[in-house]
Amino acid sequence: MTASPDAPQRPRVKMKPKSNARAIRHGFPWVYANELVTDRRTRNLAPGTLAVLEDEAQRPLGLVSVNPESKIIARMLDRDPEAQIDQAWFAARLTRALEMRERLYDAPFYRLVHAESDGLPGVVIDRFGGTCVVQPNAAWAEAHLDMLAAALADVTGAEVILKNATGRTRGLEGLDDVNQTLLGEAPAAPVPVMMNGATYMADLTGGQKTGLFFDQRENHAFAARLTAPGAKVLDVFSHVGGFGLAMLAGGAGQAACVDGSAAALELAVQGAEAGGFKDKLTARQGDAFDVLAALGQEGETFDVVICDPPAFAPSKQALEAGLRAYERVAKLAAPLVKPGGYLGLCSCSHAADLSRFRNASARGIGKAGRRGALIHTGYAGPDHPQLPQLAESGYLKAVFFRLD
């Protein structure tokens, strides 16, 4: 494509000799700092600058955003090096993402944009009816946030758009942690969200991440299918009652939710009340490892136990310690499962792949003196699509065992 005569001349950045330009051509969306020629001109580019990426032979690979302050120094935005990143460009990406979600879900509660997998690198957007929560976790998205918000309102009809700046990767991009209301007025009360027959209360301004974890929807449904009428179930690291409320909706007679956050547990109680299960849910605040150990000492057992901890291995450097933590969770949780009962273990650590996480879980079960058969492996739902070239986009794993 030929640029118009009055189009601004974009800077050009070049990959080093013997760097993996082939991977970029085949769809890998990131260029690491050690793969790019970082001369003084490149180092002086403002974070979020748009540039044409070239291979070592100066052949264009596409349009990227550049952040010299990040280990991910360039992110692929468009294979067309002359693409114009304007409101129409954002609207096209958002429309494509919305079309699939509207086909999959009968209510507007889902992840609308899953970063690179939806063609918007570093951008996460969760939709809660007429409210959208945006996490602009890359410098280029922060720089174009007004344009993104305008396109989002136009495409979805959203009346409220919130910026959530709590994402861990924002710090790695040199960005602030200041939340902001971009459109309308932030909701003063938690927003009720119906999923799998349960009602979840999402705090969009003060809760974890964007307020609710849509990624576990399919795994919540599977756990509910394991729940016999009247069953006694345990949901550890429960947040706002994700698995516990789904299992109550599936027929459980009693659900215990364990979390370190009193605010999250209060939302779980509110969700149980909204769903008509108030008398069936108990909340126990405390360190999950301590509570698991205490329940074992108390001789408690459950028909289904689910543990959905935070990312114990958020990076390669934390992998070994993270795997030991996952093993410990399994070791403490397995004795709480009745013979013939079910144990579900989850990981949202992209550094711990499925094989390593599954093996750590199995080791923990074995060290607890239990034997289990793996009956199901779950992942994030289809509103969290995976980019095959980017392992980080498929971060969520859930393994379900039936224990002897």
Contact indicator for 364, 334 with CB cutoff of 8 Å: yes
219/21 Cα distance (integer angstroms): 37
Catalytic option among 132, 307, 346, 348: 348
Q: Are 251 and 228 in contact (CB under 8 A)?
A: yes
Long-range Cβ pairs for the range 61-65 (8 Å, 24+): 61/15, 61/21, 61/24, 61/25, 62/24, 63/10, 64/13, 64/31, 65/121, 65/138, 65/139, 65/140
Sequence-separated (6 or more) residues with CB below 8 Å from residue 177: 165, 166, 170, 171
Q: How many residues does the chain have?
A: 404
Neighbour-count burial of 43, counting CB atoms closer than 10 A to its CB (0-12 exposed, 13-18 middle, 19+ buried): exposed
Which stretches of 293-336 are assigned E, i.e. beta strand?
302-307
271 near 245, Cβ under 8 Å? yes
Is the CB of residue 20 less than 8 Å from the CB of residue 35?
Answer: yes
| Separation CA 208–CA 194 (nearest Å) | 18
Say whether 346 is catalytic: no
- Cite the active site residues: 348
